[in-house]
């Protein structure tokens, strides 16, 4: 029997980097909040927030590329593409 402080769940991507201790739900919520803020702000400020988010997602994708399946890669590229489209449309 495991204690409540020890999770028996396997990480989404194995590793020992600085983000391994961040729960997936917290990371998802942070990305969702940045996306919402950028879309809500619109204009140059929204573009800046969304470009920061896109850059962070691209860096994470690059760092984890070799560990992902082709389907996971495609999904992550789709998400980055959607953020870019929203950023560009927010300028109009």
Three-state DSSP at 71 gives: helix
Tell me which residue of 51, 45, 59, 60 sits closest to 83, measured CA to CA. Answer: 51
User: 48-82: per-residue pLDDT in tens?
Assistant: 999 999 999 999 899 889 989 999 999 999 999 99
Please state, rounded to an integer, the average pLDDT across all residues of the chain.
84
**More reliable by pLDDT, 75 or 19:** 75
Q: Is the pTM of this model over 0.75?
A: no
CB 70 within 8 A of CB 62: no
Domain boundary assignment for the chain = 42-92
Instruction: Check pLDDT > 70 for residue 12.
Output: no
Residue 13 class from Cβ within 10 Å (0-12 exposed, 13-18 middle, 19+ buried)?
A: middle
Query: What does the pLDDT look like over 33-47, one tens digit per residue?
Result: 999 999 999 899 999
């Amino acid at each position: 029997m495991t204690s409540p402080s020890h999770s028996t769940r396997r990480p989404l991507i194995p590793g020992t980097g600085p983000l391994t201790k961040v729960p997936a739900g917290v990371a998802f919520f942070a990305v969702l909040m940045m996306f919402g803020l950028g879309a809500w702000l619109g204009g140059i400020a929204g573009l800046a927030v969304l470009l920061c988010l896109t850059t962070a997602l691209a860096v994470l994708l690059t760092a984890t590329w070799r560990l992902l399946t082709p389907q996971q890669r495609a999904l992550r590229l789709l998400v980055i593409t959607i953020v870019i489209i929203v950023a560009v449309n927010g300028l109009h």
